[in-house]
Structure 1
Amino acid sequence: MDPVIEPLNRVAISIGPIQLYWYGVLIMTGAIIGLWIAVRESERRNLPKDTFVDLVVWGLPISVLVARLYYVTFQWDYYSAHPKEILAVWEGGLAMHGVLIGAVLTIIVFAKVRNLSFWKLTDILAPSLILAQAIGRWGNFMNQEAHGGPVTRGFLESLHLPEFIINQMYINGTYYHPTFLYESVWNFIGFLLLMSLRKVNLRRGELFLTYLIYYSVGRFFIEGMRTDSLMLGEYIRMAQVMSIVLILLALAVIWFRRKKGYANMRYLDNGVKVD
């Protein structure tokens, strides 16, 4: 007989008809902590005090919008038949690569308007981004999504996971790989790595490009374990394609900027000159 295991409540706060879901709470928590880290670092890097607060005011809603459009586009067969669910972001369905696209486009425009270096902004923001991703993945956990294929309870216990994680991975009578956790741990390690690399004084832009490479390597392999991937055709996982593209693009940009002399400034240089 299958065990009776109730999933965790996806609703964090309920006030009358208003419900606040853990998915949104965790995403916002990651964004707020990431913003706090970026603001502290921006003061050290001699940027105007409110730079990242202003950037996030524009960048967060734009990134969420692009992330949702990205997700809906690759699930159009479903959403074309259920148009009312397109706006139901609390149910999940924010593609991280969509977030990146929205964030980069926003920073490009923001940097031009404020006459700041795009690369300096993204270098400062890189640790915050990957930490926010690490925290945000727990929203997938609460929604019982972004998991891998079936496993046994014994396998999950062999990972020495807390009971609440094991139980939450029991979905419709089957235990699943906690791929949300694998990516969260990978991203948290990446956060520690990027924070350490701040002290190395890399060439400007290369902290952000390292983030793209590191995140993409982990996402490529973890994505191969997931059962809910956005697909390009029948067999190609879109996140794996994007991961390969981002790795190659980041390496090419590093090579090009060094060759052309565009990366002579260093991370710890405090000037705000556009480059």
Structure 2
Amino acid sequence: MTLALPHALNGAAMQVVSSIPSPTISFIDLGPLRIHFYALCIIAGIVAATLIVNHRLTRRGAEPWLVLDVGLPAVVLAIIGARIYHVVTHPGFYFGPGSNPWNVFEPGSVWAIWEGGIAIYGALLGGAVGAWLGCRWTGIRFWSFADALAPGILLAQAMGRFGNWFNQELFGLPTDLPWGLEIDADNPAFPAGLPEGTLFHPTFLYEVIWNLVGVAVLFWAGKRLRLQWGRLFGLYLVWYSAGRIVWESIRIDPSVIILGLRTNVWAAILGVAVGLAIIIVQRRRHPGLEPSPYVPGRERPGGPAVQSEDTTEFVDVSEPPAAEPESGRTATSSTATT
């Protein structure tokens, strides 16, 4: 790929005042085992999201650590979906002349996920299927799980983006801004035709900052606006996808172009539309609050409290209703306000 230098980058007189260095290593070898920092970033994000979802679901009244039963198929299918989406949208990486994409031991194989190459929108599609299956098995409402996941998945995405930094990949256009990202000139991703020392927009950092701000927004909106029935997840889709439209538009890594836009830009536009549709439709279908994170008839006997339909209080369902006293007045159970 050959790029034309922006005017500010032309000439030997350009002075680099400051920049963001890139890591010099992207993996470590422990005997025969090679550990990629890219993978560690993704695993750390998954762990963080799991802890957040468990906390949020338990507060809603779900059994502690039920998230593991739902999360296992969700994570597995998310990784599969993320890889399939990447391969389909980047066929030139794997199916060029002389390639052997189906040989797991060949560099550049479609199976070599440890080399990088996963896409968040594929992960969302695959993960949604896995979460739906997990919710069916456990009796958790799918939208309750999605809302509990929303801030956690955005934090996981922020953490995962540091993997791109370690790999020196998926950076943006050349820039002379003081926060430009250094990329090694011998890196295969370094664009041809640019002089050594050229700096690039750190799109990974832009997305990290955007996502972290989004985590705070989602926590605030979930508590202040009481977004349930999938509306908080819809807000996540709108927030993440709106930022992704911008970051994706300035990236220079190869991508299939459709009507002048990168495939991931189209996916992000669709993400905004789907998120808005979820918010609007679910608000009309379910104007009140969820009565419980469980579907009717699947509550766990002796489990924790569940949230009532039209209040923010929690009522204890582990004990049968109190008998009516002789005076005819109805006994009430104590409640705890969240």
1:227-250, Cα deviation, whole Å (9 max, x unpaired) = 125324473211111111121222
Which of 6, 20, 23 is 2:38 aligned to? 23
Q: Is the 1:71–1:230 contact (alpha carbons within 8 Å) kept by the matching residues of 2?
A: no
Does residue 248 (structure 1) correspond to residue 273 (structure 2)? The answer is: yes
Which of 277, 291, 295 is 1:273 aligned to? 295
Q: 1:6 to 1:95 in 2, by over 3 A?
A: closer
Q: Which residue of 2 aligns with 1:64?
A: 79
Q: 1:206 to 1:232 in 2, by over 3 A?
A: same
3-state DSSP of counterpart to 2:220: helix
Aligned length: 260
Q: How do 1:32-181 residues align onto structure 2 when only pairs under 5 Å count? A: 32-81=47-96, 82=99, 83=101, 84=106, 85=108, 86-152=110-176, 155=177, 157=178, 159=179, 166-168=181-183, 172=190, 173=196, 174-181=198-205
Instruction: Tell me the TM-score normalised to structure 1 length.
Output: 0.86
One-letter amino acid of the counterpart of residue 289, structure 2: R
Q: What is the alpha-carbon distance in structure 1 between the residues aligned to residue 133 and residue 222 of structure 2?
A: 25
Q: Which runs of 5+ in 2 are unaligned?
A: 1-11, 191-195, 297-338
Q: 1:204 to 1:131 in 2, by over 3 A?
A: same
1:168-200, Cα deviation, whole Å (9 max, x unpaired) = 577652211100100111001101111122212
Q: 1:191 to 1:208 in 2, by over 3 A?
A: same
Q: What is the alpha-carbon distance in structure 1 between the residues aligned to residue 282 and residue 23 of structure 2?
A: 50
Q: Which residue of 2 aligns with 1:216?
A: 241
Identity of aligned residues (%): 30
Which of 14, 18, 24 is 1:8 aligned to? 24
Q: Is the 1:74–1:230 contact (alpha carbons within 8 Å) kept by the matching residues of 2?
A: yes
Q: Which runs of 5+ in 1 are unaligned?
A: none
Q: Is the 1:169–1:177 contact (alpha carbons within 8 Å) kept by the matching residues of 2?
A: no
State which drifts further: 48-57 or 208-217: 48-57
One-letter amino acid of the counterpart of residue 31, structure 2: G
Q: Which residue of 2 aligns with 1:237?
A: 262
C-alpha deviation, 1:89, in angstroms: 1.8
C-alpha deviation, 1:216, in angstroms: 0.7
Q: Is the 2:22–2:168 contact (alpha carbons within 8 Å) kept by the matching residues of 1?
A: no
Q: What is the alpha-carbon distance in structure 2 between the residues aligned to residue 112 and residue 80 of structure 1?
A: 38
Larger radius of gyration: 2
One-letter amino acid of the counterpart of residue 202, structure 1: L
C-alpha deviation, 1:56, in angstroms: 2.1
Q: Is the 2:76–2:127 contact (alpha carbons within 8 Å) kept by the matching residues of 1?
A: no
State which drifts further: 234-243 or 201-210: 234-243
C-alpha deviation, 1:226, in angstroms: 0.5
Instruction: Tell me the TM-score normalised to structure 2 length.
Output: 0.71
Q: What is the alpha-carbon distance in structure 2 between the residues aligned to residue 169 and residue 54 of structure 1?
A: 43
Does residue 189 (structure 1) correspond to residue 213 (structure 2)? The answer is: yes
Higher helix share: 1
